[in-house]
C-alpha cells in the first residue's frame, strides 16, 4: 500500500476502509498503519476527507459531506467568519492554523467557490425526509434538479428556523409556554416545507421523464396503411381492440358502453374539452383528472362543470387544469416540457406509477397510448373517429412489433 490505513489512539479506523477490506479479502494478517492522536472532530474530518476522494459519490452525498465538514471546522474555530483574515487572533493569540475562507475550503475540496456554496445550500435546505426519497435516484446526481428542490419551500424553512431560534431563547429564559408555542410553529413550518419539497421533487422527476422519454419526432400521417394494421373500414363503432395490456374503444367516451369498460381504480384520466362534454364522471373514476385546454377557455370550462378544481399550470402553449377529490400540492412550473406528448409524459410521471391504469377520452395521434406503452402504464382510451383508432393502433404496432387484436363481440 502506498498509503497505510489510519487509526486513532484507541485503534478505531479513521481512514482506509476500502484498503483494509481488500487486505482482509486477500488473507493478509498484518498490514502497515499509522496511529494518530486526535479527538472526535479531528477523526471525523479525516474520515470525511477520505470519503470525498471517492469518485462514486453522488452530488447529494458530496454536498452533505461538504456541509458537515464546514460545520466541524466552524466548531473547531477553523472556519473564517466575515471580516476575518489571516491575522485573526483568539484571546490575544494568533490562531494556528489560520481559519479558512469559503474560497480556500472550495479549492481544498477541488471545486469552485460557487459550486461549493451551491452544494452546501442543497445539503442544508432539503428536508431530511425528502433527501431519503432522493437518494439512489438519478435526481441525486443532478445539481440543477437538487437546487430546484432545495429552493422550494424557502419561506417555510425560514419560518421554521426563526421559530427554532425563538424556542432556544425561550428555553434559556425558562419560558415554558413560549417554548411550546415556538416549537409547534417550527414543527408546522417544517412539515409544510417537506410537503412543498416533495411536490417539487415529483415535478422535477416528471419533467426529467418528459424530456428524456418523449420521442424527437412523431409521425403525423401515412400514405398507406402498413400490413397488419386494421383499415378504417374494419374499425366499426362499438368495436374493442386489445393491444397487449391496453384497451381501445371505438365510440363516444361519454357513453355507458365506454364507462362500463373502465377499471375501478384508475390513477389518472386525461381529457380534452369538447362542445358536447359529458365527462364529469371522470373525477369519480380516476384519482386525478387533467384537462388540456386552449388559452382563454379554462375559466369557462371550470365554471360550467362540477369537478373539484385544484390548480392549473401552463406548459409552453398548453393549459392544464387539474381536478381531484383529493388535496394535491401544485408542482413547480416545469421549464422543459413542450408539446402534447411531453405534457402527457409529464402527467404520467407525476400522478402514476408502472402498472397504473390511465383513462383517455380521445386518441389523437396515439400520444397517450404510446406514452403508456413506453412507461409501462395500462391505457384505457376511446375515440369515435375510426381514423384516430387506426393511427393509434398503427403507432403502437410499430412501437412494439406486436399485433393488435379485435375483441370478439359477445
State pLDDT tens for residues 259-310.
999 988 899 999 988 767 889 999 999 999 999 877 666 667 767 777 898 9
Full DSSP string of 328-386: -PPPPPPSS--HHHHHHHHHHHHH--TT-EEEES--TTTHHHHHHHHTT-EEEEEES-H
- Element (H or E) spanning 285, and its range? helix 282-285
Q: Which of 105-109, 243-247, 329-333 has the lowest mean pLDDT?
A: 105-109
Task: Copy the grid coordinates of residue 294.
Answer: 386552449
Q: What is the pLDDT averaged over residues 356-378? A: 94
At residue 101, the pLDDT reads 67
At residue 112, the pLDDT reads 82
**Residues forming beta bridges with residue 269, ordered by sequence position:** 289, 359
Q: What is the pLDDT averaged over residues 70-92? A: 65
Q: Which of 30-44, 52-66, 207-221, 290-304 has the lowest mean pLDDT?
A: 207-221
Q: How far is CA 187 from CA 128, 161, 163, 201, in A?
A: 14, 10, 9, 21
Comparing 232 with 270, the larger pLDDT belongs to 270
At residue 42, the pLDDT reads 81
Centre a 10 Å sphere on the Cβ of residue 288 and count the other Cβ atoms it contains. Answer: 22
At residue 275, the pLDDT reads 66
Question: How far apart are alpha carbons 94 and 87 in whole angstroms?
Answer: 7
Question: Sorting pLDDT into bands at 50, 70 and 90, what band is 92?
Answer: very low
Residue 97: is the preceding peptide bond cis (ω within 30°)?
Answer: yes
Using alpha carbons only, give the angle 118, 50, 54 rounded to the nearest 5 degrees: 70
Contacts of 389 (CB under 8 A, 6+ apart): 230, 235, 239, 241, 248, 250, 363, 383
**pLDDT at position 166 over 60:** yes
Classify domain 240-406 at the CATH class level: alpha beta
Question: Sorting pLDDT into bands at 50, 70 and 90, what band is 221?
Answer: very low
At residue 44, the pLDDT reads 83
Q: What is the pLDDT averaged over residues 311-331? A: 85
At residue 105, the pLDDT reads 67
Percent of the chain surpassing pLDDT 90: 49
Comparing 14 with 150, the larger pLDDT belongs to 150
Amino acid at each position: 500500500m502506498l498509503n497505510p490505513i489510519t487509526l486513532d489512539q484507541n485503534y478505531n479506523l479513521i481512514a482506509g476502509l476500502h484498503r483494509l477490506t481488500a487486505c482482509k479479502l486477500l488473507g493478509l494478517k498484518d498490514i502497515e498503519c499509522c496511529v494518530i492522536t486526535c479527538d472526535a472532530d479531528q477523526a471525523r474530518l479525516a474520515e470525511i476527507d477520505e470519503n470525498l476522494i471517492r469518485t462514486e459519490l453522488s452530488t447529494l452525498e458530496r454536498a452533505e459531506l461538504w456541509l458537515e465538514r464546514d460545520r466541524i471546522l466552524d466548531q473547531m474555530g477553523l472556519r473564517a467568519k466575515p471580516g476575518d483574515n489571516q491575522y485573526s487572533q483568539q484571546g490575544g493569540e494568533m490562531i494556528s492554523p489560520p481559519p479558512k475562507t469559503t474560497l480556500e475550503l472550495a479549492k481544498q475540496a477541488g471545486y469552485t467557490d460557487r459550486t461549493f456554496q451551491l452544494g452546501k445550500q442543497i445539503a442544508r435546505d432539503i428536508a431530511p425526509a425528502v433527501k431519503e426519497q432522493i437518494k439512489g435516484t438519478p435526481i441525486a446526481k443532478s445539481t440543477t434538479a437538487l437546487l430546484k428542490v432545495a429552493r422550494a419551500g424557502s419561506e417555510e424553512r425560514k419560518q421554521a428556523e426563526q421559530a427554532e431560534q425563538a424556542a432556544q431563547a425561550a428555553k434559556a429564559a425558562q419560558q415554558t409556554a413560549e417554548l411550546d408555542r415556538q416549537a409547534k410553529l417550527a414543527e408546522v413550518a417544517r412539515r409544510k416545507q417537506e410537503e412543498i419539497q416533495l411536490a417539487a421533487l415529483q415535478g422535477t422527476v416528471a419533467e426529467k421523464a418528459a424530456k428524456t422519454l418523449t420521442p424527437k419526432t412523431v409521425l403525423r400521417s401515412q400514405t398507406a396503411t402498413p400490413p397488419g394494421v386494421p383499415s378504417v373500414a374494419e374499425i366499426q363503432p362499438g368495436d374493442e381492440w386489445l393491444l397487449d395490456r391496453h384497451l381501445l374503444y371505438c365510440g363516444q367516451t361519454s357513453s355507458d358502453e365506454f364507462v362500463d369498460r373502465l377499471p375501478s381504480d384508475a390513477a389518472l384520466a386525461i381529457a380534452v374539452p369538447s362542445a358536447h362534454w359529458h365527462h364529469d364522471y371522470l373525477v369519480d373514476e380516476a384519482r386525478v383528472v387533467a384537462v388540456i385546454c386552449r388559452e382563454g377557455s379554462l375559466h369557462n370550462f371550470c365554471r360550467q362543470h362540477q369537478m373539484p378544481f385544484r390548480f392549473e399550470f401552463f406548459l409552453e402553449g398548453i393549459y392544464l387544469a387539474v381536478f381531484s377529490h383529493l388535496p394535491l400540492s401544485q408542482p413547480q412550473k416545469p421549464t422543459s416540457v413542450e408539446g402534447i406528448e411531453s405534457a402527457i409524459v409529464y402527467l404520467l410521471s407525476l400522478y402514476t406509477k408502472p402498472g397504473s391504469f390511465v383513462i383517455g377520452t380521445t386518441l389523437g395521434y396515439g400520444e397517450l397510448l404510446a406514452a403508456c406503452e413506453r412507461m409501462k402504464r395500462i391505457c384505457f382510451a376511446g375515440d369515435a373517429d375510426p381514423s384516430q383508432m387506426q393511427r393509434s393502433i398503427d403507432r403502437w404496432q410499430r412501437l412494439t412489433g406486436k399485433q393488435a387484436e379485435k375483441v370478439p363481440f359477445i
